[in-house]
Amino acid sequence: SRALALHTIGAAGRSAHRDTIASAAHAEALAASATDLLRRLTDAVNASSASASASASAHQAHTTDLPPSDEPSTEGASDMPSRVETLIALGRVPLLAALTTRQLADVAERARWIHLRAGGVLVTAGDLLDALVVVEDGELAIGDRRFTRGEVVDELACVAPSAVADDLRAIRPARLIRLERMDFEELVDDVPGLASAVCRALGERARRAEDSNYRSPLVSRAS
203 and 149 share one domain? yes
pLDDT tens, position by position, 40-68? 545 544 554 455 455 555 544 443 443 44
124 and 159 share one domain? yes
CATH code of residue 109: 2.60.120.10
What is the C-alpha separation between 195 and 110, in angstroms, rounded?
16
Q: Is residue 187 part of a domain?
A: yes
Q: Is residue 161 part of a domain?
A: yes
36 and 128 share one domain? no
Q: What is the pLDDT of residue 98?
A: 80
129 and 197 share one domain? yes
204 and 168 share one domain? yes
28 and 77 share one domain? no
88 and 45 share one domain? no
Q: Which of 35-39, 96-100, 198-202, 208-212 has the highest mean pLDDT?
A: 96-100
Q: Is residue 100 part of a domain?
A: yes
pLDDT tens, position by position, 122-166? 999 999 999 999 999 999 999 999 999 989 998 888 888 899 999
Q: Taking 70 as the threshold, does the pLDDT of residue 172 lie above it? A: yes
43 and 81 share one domain? no
Q: Where is 173: in which H helix or E strand? A: strand 168-180
- Of 53 and 86, the structure prediction assigns the larger pLDDT to 86
Q: Is residue 217 part of a domain?
A: no
191 and 102 share one domain? yes
One-letter-per-residue 3-state SS of 113-170 = EEEECCCCEEECCCCEECEEEEEEEEEEEECCEEECCCCECCCCCCCCCEECCCCEEE
Average pLDDT over the chain, rounded to whole? 72
Q: Is residue 125 part of a domain?
A: yes
Q: What is the pLDDT of residue 220?
A: 39
Give the total number of structural domains in the chain. 2
Q: Residues of 10-32 as b/e, b for ≥16 C-beta within 10 angstroms?
A: eeeeeeeeeeeeeeeeeeeeeee
pTM (two decimals): 0.56
Q: Is residue 63 part of a domain?
A: no
Residue 19 pLDDT level (bands cut at 50, 70, 90)? low
Q: What is the pLDDT of residue 221?
A: 40
87 and 13 share one domain? no
Q: What is the pLDDT of residue 183?
A: 92
Q: Is residue 66 part of a domain?
A: no
Q: Is residue 155 part of a domain?
A: yes
Q: Which are the contacts of 205, defined by CB distance < 8 A and separation ≥ 6? A: 94, 95
89 and 160 share one domain? yes
Q: Taking 90 as the threshold, does the pLDDT of residue 173 lie above it? A: yes
* Full residue range of the structural domain in which residue 9 is found: 2-49
99 and 168 share one domain? yes
